[in-house]
Chains A and B, each alone.
Chain A
């Protein structure tokens, strides 16, 4: 059950209808397994930053509210090429970074989501995956 599992490990959990917000990129396959009408925000610690094609993945350890072992969540986003153009680098996020992640959760309740944005809590820097504007001659 999706909501039960989400509730059990939420820190600053927020559910909000947010249709049409910066949608996660669709570099390789459909992202329809993520629920675009829901946006959640979790805080946690980065376990690994996987800078790979076709999709970059941020692995985050989230401490369940009621205690117990930290749970691993995967947050998927677009490709290194697209993210580079949005200002990211493979060094943007490091293992051990404390982060706040805003995402569209998997519809089946598994521990994963399509990344909407990530904020590095120590610096306040917000990273947003984006294809940028659609026009020629982008800077």
Chain B
């Protein structure tokens, strides 16, 4: 079994599943563990599960990052970089100041974690469903984070990803999120031109909570033995918007690499744009 028994959610489903799993496992003993894992299911939520959501704090609306605070914290709360990493960081600052910004966010890859929370300039919204908190962002091909709140642990060997594997639980009105399994190429960045890949062992713990009526705070603790001499603690701030013009817009990053065109049959199509050093410099591909 990949998950402990209390992670399965529903008691009835759990006992039935356990019995079924034992039977199936007994008859499939020769198969690798992964085959047995496929028997894990996410049980259907009950009416009670949906009602329980009403007891959670109200995090509705669209949250816009406080960019001026990001900039202020970049100056006042530098990560405790290891000396060899600090050299890379200082070089990148020099390059940025010289007008040669390093492309931290490139090729339309997702910004990833923790950059989404640390340096984003784009809005996001937060959805609660039974056993899940989902954060949906604007930009980078409609970025999203899935945070499992059904009590499951991290899988023993999750596939690394841009946003990692996140599990969460509520401590009163505070959502505590634990994220592992980030791709080694994902940056720990302090701005859009300065950061280094985490190289494989980054661990992020966040405490998300609302302060006053409309300010969301994310207290982050980032551990990276490869980059940092000690865990780095920092907080990011987001403001709630309710005006409908703040509703999240679709953001397909790759679309920006194309312009509207018409093909030889008169059909609407996309034509690639010419880029130079990351900047669009020609509206026709020829």
Inter-subunit contact A27/B122 (CB<8 Å): yes
Q: Which residues of B contact A54 (CB under 8 A)?
A: 108, 139-140, 251, 253, 256
Whether, in the assembled complex, A14 has its beta carbon less than 8 Å from a beta carbon of chain B, the answer is no
Q: Are A32 and B283 closer than 8 Å at their CB atoms?
A: no
Prevailing SS type, chain A contact patch: loop
User: Does A53 contact B282, Cβ atoms closer than 8 Å?
Assistant: no
- Tell me which of A33, A35, A47, A82 contacts B279 (CB under 8 A): A33
Whether A92 sits at the interface, judged by CB under 8 Å, is no
> A35: which of B99, B242, B280 is its contact (CB, 8 Å)?
B99
B85 to nearest A CB, angstroms? 20
Which chain B residues border A28 with CB–CB below 8 Å?
Answer: 105, 139-140, 192, 253, 256
Q: By the criterion CB–CB under 8 Å, are A74 and B283 in contact?
A: yes
Write out the residue numbers on chain B whose beta carbons fall within 8 Å of the beta carbon of A33: 99-101, 277-279
What secondary structure prevails in chain B residues at the interface with A?
A: loop
Give every chain A residue within 8 A of B192 (Cβ-Cβ): 26, 28-30
A81 pairs with B103, CB closer than 8 A:
no
> From residue 234 to 265 of chain B, which have CB atoms closer than 8 A to chain A?
239-243, 245-246, 248-253, 255-256, 258-260
B residues with a Cβ closer than 8 A to A are 64, 66-68, 96-97, 99-106, 108, 121-123, 138-140, 191-193, 213-215, 239-243, 245-246, 248-253, 255-256, 258-260, 273, 276-283
| Interface set of A (CB-CB < 8 Å, partner B) | 25-33, 35, 47-48, 50, 52-55, 57, 59, 72, 74, 76, 78-82, 84-85, 106-108, 110-112, 131, 134-139
